[in-house]
Amino acid sequence: MNIVWLSSRALGSDLCSTTQIQLANGLVSKGHSVDFYSPGKSVASSFNHHSIERSSRRGFQARSVVKKLHEHLEEINSADVVLIDWPIFSIANKVKPQVVLIDRGPPADNGVLAMLQWRPWRKAWSKANKGTTVSSAHRKFVTDKTKFAGKSIQVIPAGVDLELFQPGKKDGPIKLAYHGRVDVHRGVMSLPMILAGLQLQGIDATLHIHGTGNAVERLRNIGMEGLEVTDAIPHEDLAAKTATYDVGFLPMPDHKVWSLASPLKRSEYLASGMLVCGIDHSGHQIDDSGKWLQLSSQKDFITNTVAWIKSQDRKSLSALQSESRKYAEDNLSWSHSVDALESIILS
């Protein structure tokens, strides 16, 4: 099948584009041809990427992509099916093949920009015949907030590259980690307090934070012993580091952006044989999870996490880490997500 995917995300520079790259590659591996139209550039991908120019001004980026995509309508309309991300779904009325709406999350910006985004988000779902979400909670949110009947929504969670992210040798101090966007509103400033709490209890621990965002300099300025803060690092280097880490954090609060999510970092933590500690909400929960997932209320996150990590020794950590990797192998490979996407394309 000839599949075209239209997106406003910048491949290669947008952290969230990892999901799209993996899904598109997966569709190609199943025998489909995929032409991906988006900003940015893709390296070593098996699909055909067509780079689309995008405005640098926030609030105008989606509109600028739609304008450029009009120049490619002839090629787009030669496809059997067209996948369209919700921010640019306005182009759907110019697309002749069947369309699938791709929703990797509702509007995430704050303030005026978010208010401007909610209208096109709702309109996209009102115009769609079928679409995808990243979690069951996200699907319910769509059906509650829009006129969409919900019968043709496929849940496609974030998967993980199980060959790239693997457990390595874990020894020495207990190594704590967070990677991704390092923004204040994601709760990352609570993480040094967990490290401090463990150190006060006499636990030999280190904390490693990798990413970019408005909290990076604040974290670096703390100057705490055992705290490492780096900019975002290449995926291969990140996998090499997480292989040696023990516990990964999900400090994002119970906000609709994260309570509806399927965080890629959670899958990468588990594939790396890490335990996961985070805030208790639907975006972080996993059905039938083991003790390798420890979730607490935001109020008790720091104290509960310190107490739980303190209660573990290297032997108990290793046993739980083996279980977390096994869960990832059984449930989190990208093949599961690709199969789900293919099923709605073919339906």
Burial label, 323 (beta-carbon count in 10 A; 0-12, 13-18, 19+): middle
Nearest 5°: the CA angle 267, 273, 274 is 75
pLDDT at position 167 over 80: yes
For residue 155, what are the β-bridge partners? 133
Give the model confidence (pLDDT) of 257-297 as tens digits: 788 877 889 999 999 999 999 999 989 999 889 999 999 99
pLDDT at position 58 over 80: no
* pLDDT, position 13: 61
pTM for the full predicted model:
0.84
pLDDT at position 113 over 70: no
Q: 74: which residues sit within 8 A by CB, 6+ positions away?
A: none
Q: Look up tokens 């996407």; give the residue.
A: 341
Structure token digits, residue 125:
């779902």
* pLDDT, position 59: 64
* pLDDT, position 112: 66
Q: 225: which residues sit within 8 A by CB, 6+ positions away?
A: 199
> Taken in order 208, 213, 217, 218, is the CA torsion positive or negative?
negative
The phi, psi pair for 190, rounded to 5°, reads -80, -20
* pLDDT, position 301: 98
Contacts by 136-140 with C-beta closer than 8 Å and gap 24+? 137/259, 137/260, 137/282, 137/283, 138/103, 138/105, 138/106, 138/260, 138/261, 138/262
Structure token digits, residue 231:
């900019």
The phi, psi pair for 45, rounded to 5°, reads -105, 155
> For 288, how many CA atoms within 13 A lie in the half-sphere containing its CB?
5
